[in-house]
Structure 1
Amino acid sequence: MSALTDNTRNGALKRNLLRQMLKASVFKFGEFQLKSGQISPIYIDLRECFGHPELLMLISEALSRQIESSGVQYTGVLGIPYAALPYASVAAGQYLKKPLLIVRKEAKSYGTKKLIEGLYQPNDQLVLIEDVVTTGGSILDVLKVIQAESLVASDVFCILDREQGGSQKLKDAGVTLHSLLDMNTVLTFLFSTGAVTEEQWYGIVKALNLSYTSPVKLTIDKDLENLSNLPYVENARTPLAERESLTESSLNRKIISIMRNKESNLCLAVDYTTTSEVLQMVELAGPFVLAIKLHADAITDFNEDFTRKLTTMANDMNFVIFEDRKFGDTGNTNLLQLTGAQKIASWADVVTVHAVQGNDSIAGVFRKLALDPAYRLSGILLIAQLSTKGSLTALSGYTESAIEIGNDNRDVVSGFITQTRVSACSDLLNWTPGVNLDAKTDSTGQQWRGVDQAIDVQQNDIIIVGRGVTSSSEPVQQLKRYRQIAWEALTRNDASIH
């Protein structure tokens, strides 16, 4: 039942499953005879999901995530015939990238006459996918078939465990059952959302001989949750001292050292259009921030005297210069832009880079400059997510591709521009825009949230604040305010700090 209360991506995914199942009429009430012969006042018809593509994909994603997080070693995926086959097909092909195997209920009388279709070798280890487990009989039947072909399966992943003895029977056969949902979770959700009454709840529990004593009512919003706003990984944040020792990035060693010395994980976005305005704000902000973020191409009187003054202030006040250029071209063009008229690589410590150009254009060019002592540039931030409403970074696969590039190039990739923690690599830093303590949105599509949401829930490390400070009549007071709140949120459970 923790899925109904967990403030995690996995918990939200399961709540969304239940919301969409309810809307798709998966839960039916009346008098139904199950395959086992048992009479049930509730029938959970997962075949209804086939008519709802988003729900089918969501279930397949959830099963895939559960398989990956289990740590089980396997070479192929087998769907229990026939209701589980659509989920197994999508999970194997779309998410797990593993061969799909199918067991026929009876061998063909023509052709190869095989009972098992798919690519496999003797002694291959399979994971099995089932939709609903009641007694486990269907799974045990399939196990006999695959064992006769010298295949091995010790783990079954199902959407729903009806808690009717199937888990124990499978255990007795040497098989572990992993379920996305169980009846306790389903019934608590249905009762909490008003889909079943208290009388119905007791009737279902009695008819199915479940061991629950009384219904639990939770506060559950009926609206779908945005999964992209929650961490992609669930392991706890590693202490800063350990992250500093683990990192392959010279930039991150510098950043974490500054964070610890200044007790600041605050980056100030100074989006002014004249050099004098920028330098005046930097003079005020320097003592309180980890980094100053600029848009050089928005500064109308940009010149080398400005960058000399800026780098001197960065050295004196110990902060990082962050040029938010968002490079996204071919490798050669990136190189020309970095060393061209604005000489960005000579004064910026870190720049932002789109993942759209791919690994080769990113790794080679930026690593070359980061390793060259003639340049100040020492790392990049990959854009994994943006804070603007309707951003195309939310398209399927974009964030995952950015994560892969970052994970593979941690000497030059310092981290990500993101809305939530995206990588399991603890040495990569998550920088997040869209933080404002006093406003939620503006007229141009910018969306803001508070520090607790950004750091505690979404597991980001560094907050990027702009107008919350630069538009204030008292910017120093706001800088102190944001720095204190953000640092306390980041280090609250960090034993290396306290």
Structure 2
Amino acid sequence: METYKSEFIEFLVACNALKFGEFTLKSGRVAPYFINTGMFDTGEKISRLGHYYAQAVTAHFGDNFDGIYGPAYKGIPLCITTAMGLAARGVDKGYLFNRKEAKTYADKSTLVGMALTPETRLILVDDVITSGKAIRESIEVLKNNSNPKVEGIVISVNRQEKGKGEQNALAEVADILGVPVFAIVTLEEIKTYLHNKEINGQVVIDDAMLEKINTYLEKYGAK
């Protein structure tokens, strides 16, 4: 496992953004784990988050793109901090995000940030993907604003769960949109790294919790 991935997993735990227990998800599934990227709630945390997103973006796309797009609302700080993380790595790119509500005065554009052309190459960033609704809405917004090229999508964690069918939810979105989707880490990597590992004096995933996760994935999991 790459160093930035193991560091990111420990970062998720330290920020309480990755929790284990019993959580009822929007889908109605009762999961033994939950990911809440809203816990990156300080300047230092969001800055570090951008560092990890930037590493994932460059790992998969190098510098072969022009900007980072984030769907409102959670994608707004993500696209900005990712662009900052890239700049710190010597890859200076643009960023932009959409407005949920159109302005009725001055600049009435539905987008905020870098200018677009049909040749602009974008990487979309988001926290996690469940149904892909926000991403699909973003694609439509972009089509109506110069129709730039979407090269791919990067999210924080691939939960490796089924979507509406038997396929991995990320794979479903990738097939529907025709673009690759990558995650900084997968649930399998999280399980492997954290099993019986002490962080700040506490074992995050013991044998009992690992069994609960595996039982859940036997029902809802998809590689």
User: Counterpart of 1:167?
Assistant: 170
2:191 counterpart residue number: 187
Once the two structures are superposed, residues 406-426 of structure 1 have per-residue CA deviations (whole angstroms, 9 ceiling, x without a partner) of xxxxxxxxxxxxxxxxxxxxx
| Correspondence for 2:114 | 119
Specify which structure has the bigger relative contact order, considering alpha-carbon pairs within 8 angstroms and separated by 6 or more residues. 2
AA aligned to 2:7 is: N
Cα deviation, 1:51-73, whole Å, max 9, x if unaligned, reads 361x4333312221232232362
1:93 aligns with 2:87: no
* Equivalent of residue 61 in structure 1, options 48, 51, 61: 51
Equivalent residue, structure 1, for 2:126: 130
Q: CA–CA distance in 2 between the matches of 1:106 and 1:204? A: 39
For 1:444, the equivalent position in structure 2 comes to none
1:389-448 CA-to-partner distances (Å, cap 9, x unmatched) read: xxxxxxxxxxxxxxxxxxxxxxxxxxxxxxxxxxxxxxxxxxxxxxxxxxxxxxxxxxxx
CA distance in 2, matches of 1:169, 1:106: 28
SS in 2 for 1:68: helix
Q: Which amino acid aligns with 1:71?
A: G
Of the three residues 24, 35, 51, the one matched with 2:15 is 24
CA deviations 1:285-341 (Å, max 9, x no partner) are: xxxxxxxxxxxxxxxxxxxxxxxxxxxxxxxxxxxxxxxxxxxxxxxxxxxxxxxxx
Does 2:214 match 1:205?
yes
Matches within 5 A, 1:16-415: 16-51=7-42, 53=44, 55-69=45-59, 70-71=61-62, 73-94=64-85, 95=87, 96-123=91-118, 124-149=120-145, 150-164=147-161, 165-172=168-175, 173-193=177-197, 194-208=203-217, 209-210=220-221
Q: Which amino acid aligns with 2:31?
A: S
| Aligned counterparts of 2:104 and 2:28: Cα–Cα separation in 1 | 31
Q: Which amino acid aligns with 1:68?
A: T
Q: Quick one: which amino acid aligns to residue 173 of structure 2?
A: L
Residues of 2 paired with 1:145 and 1:38: CA distance? 31
- Cα deviation for residue 185 of structure 1 reads 1.0
Deviation at 1:146, TM superposition (A): 0.9
Partner Cα separation in structure 2 for residue 74 and residue 122 of structure 1: 13
Counterpart residue identity of residue 159, structure 1: S
Q: Indicate conservation of the 8 Å contact 1:134/1:162, yes or no.
A: no
CA shift in 2, pair 1:35/1:84, >3 Å: farther
Which runs of no fewer than 5 residues in structure 1 stay unpaired? 4-10, 213-498
Report the Cα distance in structure 2 between the residues aligned to 1:166 and 1:104, rounded to whole angstroms: 26
Shift in Å, 1:179: 1.2
Aligned AA for 1:89? I
The aligned amino acid for 1:129 is V
SS at match of 2:108: coil
Distance in 1, matches of 2:24 and 2:14, equals 23
Q: Do 1:36 and 1:135's aligned partners in 2 also have CA atoms closer than 8 Å?
A: no
Counterpart of 2:214 in 1: which secondary structure?
A: helix
Q: Number of residues paired by the alignment?
A: 202
Contact 1:78 1:100 in 2 (8 A): yes
Q: CA, structure 1 residues 111+204, in 2 after alignment: closer, same or farther (shift >3 Å)?
A: farther
TM-score (normalizing by structure 2): 0.79
Classify the secondary structure of the residue corresponding to 1:133: coil
Report the alpha carbon displacement of residue 37 of structure 1 after superposing the two structures with TM. 4.1
Report the counterpart of residue 457 of structure 1 in structure 2: none
For residues 111 and 215 of structure 2, the distance between their equivalents in structure 1, rounded to whole angstroms, comes to 40
* Structure with more strand by fraction: 2
Q: 2-side partners of 1:50 and 1:182: how far apart?
A: 23
CA–CA distance in structure 2, aligned partners of residues 23 and 47 of structure 1 = 13
What letter matches 2:214 in structure 1? Answer: V
Identical-residue share of aligned pairs (%): 22
Match of 2:127, SS? strand
SS at match of 2:126: strand
Distance of 1:114 and 1:37 partners within structure 2 = 37
RMSD: 2.3
State the TM-score, normalizing by the size of structure 1.
0.38
Query: In the alignment, is the contact (CA less than 8 A) between 2:196 and 2:206 conserved in 1?
Result: no
Instruction: Give the deviation of 1:178 after TM superposition.
Output: 1.6
Distance 1:51 1:35, change over 3 A: farther
Q: Distance in 1 between matches of 2:50 and 2:75?
A: 10
